[in-house]
Homo-oligomer: A and B are copies of this chain.
Amino acid sequence: MVSTQPDLSELDSRLSPGALVTDRDVIDAYSSDKALFCPAGTASALVRAASVDDVVAVMRFATEHRIPVVTQGARTGLSGAANAVDGAILLNVAKLDAIVDIDVLNQTCRVQPGVINQDLKSALAEHGLSYPPDPGSVAISTIGGNVATNAGGMCCVKYGVTKDYVRGLTVVLADGTVTKLGRQTAKGVAGLDLASLFVGSEGTLGVIVEITLGLKPLLAPPVTGVAVFPDMESAGHTVSAFMASGAGPSMLELMDGATVAMINAYGDFGLPDGAGALLLVQSDAPGQAGVAELEGFEAIARGQGADEVFFSDDPADSEMFVAARRAVSPAMEQYVATLGGGELIDDVCVPRSRLGEFFARLAEIDARHMVEVSTAGHAGDGNMHPSVLFDASDEASVAEAKETFAEIMQLGLDLGGTITGEHGVGYLKQDWLVRELDAGAQVLQASIKSAVDPLGILNPGKMLG
């Protein structure tokens, strides 16, 4: 795409002092997110934007010179969407990290994209407000990145995903135009809903420089329950039956036996040994309603053959169990180090009623391959994260891992699901996106991308390719 090397000194003169970085080592360090097996090209420069004006200057320069731009925040993504492409400017907006406004009366806030999710949560808590979306990366990922991927988390079963909180966006378009999309109010239908279109667009449509979020009152402390099952199928059936009973849990997470064992090897979070599968459930319904909801859960779990079910309304216990769930990632990392360090995390979402079948067929896939598959995920939404664990130093193991990963996505599609519930497409799942979308939808996606970014400079080659 780049015919000649652009004159970066010209760009430098338009930017805040120090924003432009041309040191190759630094550029390379910013050239990948946390995805495996995704190509990272050779970027021509890194811009650490210090202002919206810097973003505008980059996009004008990029348009003038037809240079690709890859927008990135904390680079915690799992699909390669923030990876460099050849010749690109890496436009890092992590330093645009101001909480511009917290509006207590209207329960909204305006933030710049670089605000860390947990930092926003903490700031809001002081005002009696909460922003529920809580991806696994909550402590390290940015709101901008969360919006760009429509991030989810454990709260979604009751509180929805990032999109459900985004009211308005200020974006810088490919040609440097700054525009406001969406609304500030609780409702609004003035024109096509372009704010929703930009949520989850993975940097392919524009650069998000401000976000207006609708908020919730501070959530009530939940009652937490743990149920231990002999196998995944019975846990899966429990999820389906409990959700269909009219329950509205604020969390419903599942871990398979292998995952529980890894957590117990990593630290003591009060989880039982020897579980075949474990469900972690919370209800933040007010007063006795929360306990009643978990009693309903217990009855269903026992009916499905649970070995053990216990509750606690002690906040310390609740926090410990949630910490156990959040420990899946480091615990798996510790375990995988013993195998050769390879971990490929999948993200399929299926109709909840198909979870039992999903686990049965996942076990078959696992059995067919010389890699291990361990599974945790947001069972209440049918959004599971089977991780393929392999030896990254062994070519055969790597090949087997990729094949296993692909079979899991095919299984998701076979069961009426999607290849990605919350991690996004990026580079990682491009070949699979075209299997999920029909021909008409593919053309439509490409037409819209091309209408919004006619030169094709915004994160080219990602998502639809």
Contacts and interface: CB of A to CB of B under 8 A. Distances in A.
A200 B292 CA distance: 39
Interface string A142-184: 0000000110100011001101100000000100011111011
A316 interface: no
Interface stretch (A44-52, A261-269, A283-291, A301-309): A283-291
A76 interface: no
Contact of A156 (B187, B200, B349): B187
Interface in A287-346: 287-289, 292
A189 B421 contact: yes
A128 interface: yes
A186 B105 contact: no
B184 A217 contact: no
Contacts of A149: 189
Contacts of A351: 103, 105-106, 108, 184-185
A353 B425 contact: no
Interface string A422-465: 11110001000100111111011101111110000000000110
Contact of A188 (B349, B439, B452): B349
Interface of A: 103-108, 128, 149-150, 152, 156-157, 160-161, 163-164, 173, 177-181, 183-194, 196-197, 199-201, 204-205, 217-218, 240, 243-244, 246-248, 285-289, 292, 349-353, 378, 380-383, 416-425, 429, 433, 436-441, 443-445, 447-452, 463-464
Given A173-B444, A191-B436, A191-B464, 16 more contacts: A106-B244, A106-B352, A163-B193, A180-B441, A183-B349, A187-B382, A188-B420, A189-B425, A190-B419, A190-B425, A190-B433, A191-B433, A194-B444, A196-B196, A197-B197, A450-B451
